[in-house]
Structure 1
């Protein structure tokens, strides 16, 4: 079985990683159309590995999502929170990667200040994401936020 701390801490999204929030914002800002932005999002999924099979289990599944989503949560000794996600849907995984870029490897207070709807609106997704998909993304963020509150 893969070590949870190793998986979460070295998952390639978030602060100091190649796919941090600044990189994601720049990538999407440079896209001139929704189709180009969509292609860029799908390219992100090639840079982030799939979760190992042992973490794609029911206990890590997030309910309320349109497609199956798995979320692994971990708090390190310094109080930083680490997450790893996967989905059966490439576009959902891409959207989750953009969320992780803002919250992964961060302290609880920063994570809990994120306004998911506003964040996705800033990235230009608001008019392109279905309400059910938005609800799923909010469910993932809520699980992250609740984990931060419970383990603080």
Structure 2
């Protein structure tokens, strides 16, 4: 299960034949995201396990399994900022229960990211997904 915003990204990726075009699209998605305020770029929001610096600031509305999940994010690397945007599209607006049911590996695999990211970037994406899942689990 993925959000409509993620489905839009997946559709765009189907039309982009070249990985370089997909890579540029991911960067554009990151550029379109609002910047995370400096006040939220703190150790508590920093994601460990990423080669670049990444911060995820949860913004969950409600409590329990029906709470609606959202987050703001930032990275000091353009491609990683784009990956944050892709994850935002994947999870934003879902209930926390649905966040936990998303198979991020399969969904991101639809984009071919698993084939084109370095091992360090792939580890970083996994770390971001684990942070997101941890936030959702804590909300339950």
Return the TM-score normalized by structure 1: 0.82
**Which string of whole-angstrom CA distances, capped at 9 and with x for unpartnered residues, describes residues 26-74 of structure 1?**
2212111101111111111221111111111222101111100000012
TM-score normalised per structure 2: 0.89
| Corresponding residue number in structure 1 for 2:94 | 106
- Cα 1:83/1:48, change in 2 over 3 Å: same
Distance 2:25 2:36 in 1: 21
Aligned to 1:24: 9
Contact 2:53 2:76 in 1 (8 A): yes
Unaligned stretches of 5+ residues in structure 2: none
Q: What secondary structure does 1:85 align onto?
A: strand
Corresponding residue of 2:22: 37
Displacement, 1:117? 2.2
Please say if 1:80 is aligned against 2:68.
Answer: yes
Please state how far the C-alpha of 1:115 moved relative to its aligned partner: 2.2
Distance 1:57 1:31 in 2: 36
CA distance in 2, matches of 1:37, 1:130: 15
For the Cα contact (< 8 Å) 2:13–2:22, is it kept in 1?
A: yes
**1:57 maps to 2:42:** yes
Q: Please tell me whether residue 119 in structure 1 is matched to residue 107 in structure 2.
A: yes
Displacement, 1:135?
A: 1.2
Secondary structure of 2:113's partner?
coil
Length, aligned pairs only = 136
Which has the larger share of strand? 1
Q: Is the CA contact 2:104–2:129 (under 8 Å) kept in the aligned structure 1?
A: yes
Computed over aligned residues only, the root mean square deviation of the Cα atoms, in angstroms, reads 1.7
Aligned residue for 1:10? none
Structure 1, unpaired ranges of 5+: 1-13
